[in-house]
Amino acid sequence: MSILNQEFSTPFNTAPFSKIKNENFLPAFKSAIEKARKEIDAIVKNTESPTFKNTIEALEFSGQELDRISSIFFNLNAAETNDEIQKIAQEVSPLLSEFGNDITLNEDLFKRIKSVYNSKPKNLTEEQKTLLNKRYKSFSRNGANLPEDKKEQLRAIDKELSQLKLKFGENVLAEANKFEMLITDENDLSGLPDGAKEAAKQLAESKNKEGWLITLDYPSYIPFMTYADNRELRKKLSLAFGSKAFKNDELDNQDIVIKIANLRFKRAQLLGYKTHAHFVLEERMAKIPEKVESFLNELLEKAKPAAEREFANLENFAKDLDKIDKLQKWDSAYYSEKLKQKLFDLDDEQLKPYFKLENVIEGAFKVAEKLFGLRFEEIKDKDAIDYIDKYHEDVLTYKVTNDEGLIAIFYADFFPRAGKRNGAWMTSFKPQYVENGHNHRPHVSIVCNFTKPTKSKPSLLTFNEVTTLFHEFGHALHGMLANTTYSSLSGTSVYWDFVELPSQVMENWCYEKEALELFAKHYENNEVIPMDLVNKIKASSTFHEGLQTLRQISFGLLDMSWHGQDPSKITNVKVQEVKAFGDTLLYPDVAENCMSTAFAHIFQGGYSSGYYSYKWAEVLDADAFEYFKEKGIFNKTVANKFKDNILSQGGTEDPMLLYKRFRGQEPKPEALLRRAGLLK
């Protein structure tokens, strides 16, 4: 029996990563699927009348071994992958898809669920009512009410989709890893900060190359696009980044994008929905595509005049400074940074010495302690009795406690490497749930791609990286403070347009003097960040807010253009994209670039028909943080209300009810517009 199919004999039941071998996964998956099938059979063959306990609850607690193996494997595939793991993923995904369909299309199982659902059992808690409703819908929304021939069609679609999404992600990662820009003339690095130059040199050395190596990983890409004076090299890098999986070669994603969009549409139609967006949004706060579109267009109306003013100012600034006639996409970050420095006398290089990674982590922990009474203890010693195994030496591990005992295990993985996809995300290796009176505590992880330490400097974060860390830490708190009975309703298992509230609200503390003084200390002399810099951070926080808002709206509109209509007539990905971006375009279009072919959020991740939720959640977070500001940003009463009604409740009730319980009212968009400086 594989190590993965046994109870882990580790402290806190954490994953024994160093003992798991790649060849363990496939047999472990097959064994766990077989075990889960037997658990389902036991529910179906139960001769007693269907009840909430013997059917709904029994189904909830089935397949736990399979869920645990899946969590470990797919988290590794995102953060520490290789060819072997990707090959296993291609084999495993169809098996999981088929097993999932075997459950949701199991007529006898559905009959039992339907019987409980129709009997409207009394004396259920709100959480149990939600679980019953969710379980019934998970079957009906996955074809349980379909005739047999249509169920077969659904199975085939799901199998193909699971493989296409994997292939999409593999192509994007391969493209990102393939590109390297080796610079041999130091003059071509003019403008680049010393830390970025040193990191580029170190990267080149690690690959036995002479010079400075720039890649598409964010810690390499962003500083170059922001500071490098050489416009031609910025253009080269920008084109490489923007053309990922859009080169008509073996890593091209154009056909995959069109296939995914069409399969999702066919699936929705099979299930009786007008479009994929109608299917998805039924389980969101927004409910219908029309609500999303009116929300995005209302924001567009408010943001566009500001964005156009900001763009005109930026264009004039670039013309005055460098005689640039036409501002291009590869000029955006560069001249924005120059203008920001001029207006606020502030740049990331001034701020970075105050944001040593270790201090920022400690700051996030202090904020969590002041708000929610949490304590974080790093477990470093391999010989310690409570040592937590890790999947890579860069990973940090923590035991999280409060006055009542263990709250969670927390993993943090901060630096880029070849087997790790770009971006930042929160995930979990084990959910929180209560079984037989025992509250199983969660194992939560955040994964980022920050600048690595160099020989002469520690990892110093840009302010944007600071807010990213707080953002992902907010998701982690949602997972860590979960306190529900059922894992499928626990932590971040909430509507997608609600899931960003805890993460985005945490970013607000990065702009507050009271919070910054806890951790923003110079890495060389421990001097607290000066007040004038804090004031500049605050003043510059709404810099180019119109342009930023327009950008997010454009992504939401692109998402809806793929999923909110019949895509069968779309034959050209680029043409479709330009049309979708129409009302939000300010920069000239770049023929070689295409966003859709690398838009992993909607074509690989879970954000299809849901990208709008970032802005939706901003409305919630701005409104929520106004409440904190009114009472004090570390006010215990408000923090407890947030913990008790939002963070601990997961998806146990309708999110608007939870929000109103915390806030006393529905959120008002004016709070966001005020914060963004878009209200006149």
Is 472 one of the catalytic residues? yes
Q: Which residue has the tokens 């939002």?
A: 646
| Angle (deg, nearest 10), helices 218-227 and 194-206 | 140
User: Rounded to whole angstroms, how far apart are CA atoms 319 and 49?
Assistant: 77
Residues found in the chain:
680
Give Dmax over CA atoms of the chain in angstroms. Answer: 82
Using alpha carbons, select from 296, 272, 295, 294 the residue that is nearest to residue 282: 272
User: Rounded to whole angstroms, how far apart are CA atoms 256 and 246?
Assistant: 11
| Angle (deg, nearest 10), helices 613-631 and 545-563 | 140
**Residue 159: which H helix or E strand, with range?**
helix 148-178
User: Rounded to whole angstroms, how far apart are CA atoms 377 and 161?
Assistant: 42
User: Rounded to whole angstroms, how far apart are CA atoms 292 and 558?
Assistant: 12
150: which 2 tokens?
């249509």
DSSP E strands, 340-466? 375-378, 396-402, 405-413, 425-430, 433-435, 438-440, 443-447
Contacts 24+ apart (CB under 8 A), 550-554: 550/300, 550/303, 550/304, 550/307, 550/584, 550/586, 551/584, 552/614, 552/615, 553/296, 553/299, 553/300, 553/303, 553/584, 553/615, 554/580, 554/581, 554/584, 554/585
User: How are beta strands 443-447 and 396-402 bridged, if at all?
Assistant: unpaired
How is 298-309 classified by DSSP, letter by letter? Answer: HHHHHHHHHHHH
Sign of CA dihedral 642, 646, 648, 653: positive
Secondary structure (3-state) at 509: helix
* 668 burial type by CB count under 10 A (0-12 exposed, 13-18 middle, 19+ buried): middle
**8 Å CB contact between 507 and 471:** yes
Q: Let me know the angle formed at the C-alpha of 402 by 398 and 404, rounded to the nearest 5 degrees.
A: 125
466: which 2 tokens?
């600071």
User: Rounded to whole angstroms, how far apart are CA atoms 77 and 88?
Assistant: 10
**8 Å CB contact between 475 and 492:** yes
Q: C-alpha distances in angstroms, 172 versus 163, 217, 243, 320, 628?
A: 14, 12, 10, 38, 40
User: Rounded to whole angstroms, how far apart are CA atoms 515 and 519?
Assistant: 7
* 94 burial type by CB count under 10 A (0-12 exposed, 13-18 middle, 19+ buried): middle
Q: Which residue has the tokens 């995102």?
A: 78
How is 4-20 classified by DSSP, letter by letter? Answer: GGS---SGGG---GGG-
User: Rounded to whole angstroms, how far apart are CA atoms 59 and 81?
Assistant: 32
User: Rounded to whole angstroms, how far apart are CA atoms 641 and 660?
Assistant: 11
Please identify which of the residues 315, 337, 349, 472 carries the catalytic annotation.
472
User: Rounded to whole angstroms, how far apart are CA atoms 539 and 53?
Assistant: 56
Catalytic residues: 472
